[in-house]
Copies of this chain bind each other. A is one copy, B any other.
């Protein structure tokens, strides 16, 4: 591509070596998701290709290639025939220190013109959406491009055909799991309700009743804990495909992190930008959930939709719209879907954060008297619906069957077996730093703000710090006297504890008290 006869011979390498081939040197810089390539400012290839900071560069190494964003460095950091990569880029390329890379201009990313059309107000068809998703999976979209994509598809009244096309494209651009004969049951909560860790109870109940329920879960996106995070505090979740298949063969079920399976990989890329933006658009929500389930090989899906003023779905009207979108897309993907609307007015259980929620789960499964009753009944209701959806319980008989399975200890034994099959069961850790916050006046708990409570738990460190989060000591309608505990902040570091405390002090009405 470059006319070598005009190139100055200022490099120390053999004149036969191409100047767009550089040697990698590890600098050890982690820039998170977006791959970055570092070149020295006076690198001849920079000048020759006309590259500048923020340019997009195609980097090829040992048969693989990625598009990276260029950061230029001073000449002290890198020699003119050297290049370095951000941590993500090293991994994507499978490259190591000393490898040679070839650099070139990337071909224009054609699907970005379709994205622009969408932004300007057009509706996109399945093939253009497919092209966008393929480019996303291939790593051709920068963080800025992804942010535009997320924003463009975040409108409140999404288009069903676009959402379906998005979900389909997200399935076909990744791997799939297959489990043999239907039904293969799955369950998902759309989120927004802190502590709603029902999967870890539903899965063992459903599996103990003979249905196949291989649950692959995400880590938390915008919440203080995802199912994978909570499960990981009691058992390994990071299994590869073969490992997952072994567990399910043995126990008919699993609760694992789906990340090693490359299910709907576009979802993870999109989420990496959705997360800092804190968006939760109906289109992305439905496409994300159904694409992951379809790719995971599920056929019968139960979706828990908590509805409440401070949950993710705020009203019956919003729930109607979301349900309609879910049903339309599920139908197009040939999935059986059942939606259960649940109460979203306050958190579920006591704990908000991976380990704290796992402790609530174990208390329920162990039928401990102090186990959170709300978590228990929600999990049983969902498990009952799942048993009916899967055809194991007759209509209306699911709840009783689920309750019997829990109270007999069969569900607990099943979870223990699943944990052992996944690599071993342990007790969840307890956070080293705990700060109890007491009520300063008497009253009746009249409101608990889910959104800000989640934020509090995240500031305390969840989910990155697995034992961090918030432990509630009250529920709606609880009566409390001054000096009695409202909640406990759990943290792994003093800085996070302090930041959570400061946030709570600035937001005392996260928990509202009516004088009594």
| B interface footprint on A1-16 (CB within 8 Å = 1, 0 otherwise) | 1110011000000000
Q: Are B494 and A30 in contact (CB under 8 A)?
A: no
Q: Are B276 and A29 in contact (CB under 8 A)?
A: no
Beyond the given pairs A120-B155, A151-B151, 9 more chain A to chain B contacts, judged by CB atoms under 8 angstroms and listed by A's residue number, are A26-B74, A28-B76, A50-B464, A50-B496, A71-B86, A119-B151, A120-B281, A148-B148, A148-B277
CB distance from A61 to the nearest CB of B (A): 20
Q: Are A276 and B72 in contact (CB under 8 A)?
A: no
Given contacts A73-B27, A120-B281, contact A147 B156 (CB under 8 A): no
| B interface footprint on A30-52 (CB within 8 Å = 1, 0 otherwise) | 11110000100100010111101
Give bound CA distance, A42 to B109, whole Å.
38
**CB < 8 Å: which of B29, B33, B499 contacts A73?**
B29
| B interface footprint on A474-501 (CB within 8 Å = 1, 0 otherwise) | 0000000000000000001111111100
Q: Is A273 an interface residue (CB 8 A)?
A: yes
Q: Are A277 and B31 in contact (CB under 8 A)?
A: no
Q: Is A112 an interface residue (CB 8 A)?
A: yes
Q: Are A493 and B119 in contact (CB under 8 A)?
A: no
Q: Is A142 an interface residue (CB 8 A)?
A: yes
A492 contacts which chain B residues (CB < 8 A)?
A: 50
Q: Are B493 and A49 in contact (CB under 8 A)?
A: yes
Given contacts A142-B276, A276-B54, contact A157 B281 (CB under 8 A): no
A146 contacts which chain B residues (CB < 8 A)?
A: 144
Top 3 A-B residue pairs of the complex, sorted by shortest distance between their CB atoms: A28-B74, A147-B147, A32-B54
Return 11 A-B CB contacts under 8 Å, by A number: A2-B494, A26-B74, A27-B73, A28-B74, A30-B71, A31-B71, A50-B465, A50-B493, A71-B86, A105-B495, A148-B150
Q: Are A498 and B2 in contact (CB under 8 A)?
A: yes
Q: Are A71 and B119 in contact (CB under 8 A)?
A: no
A277 contacts which chain B residues (CB < 8 A)?
A: 116, 144-145, 148
A112 contacts which chain B residues (CB < 8 A)?
A: 278
Q: Are A495 and B464 in contact (CB under 8 A)?
A: no
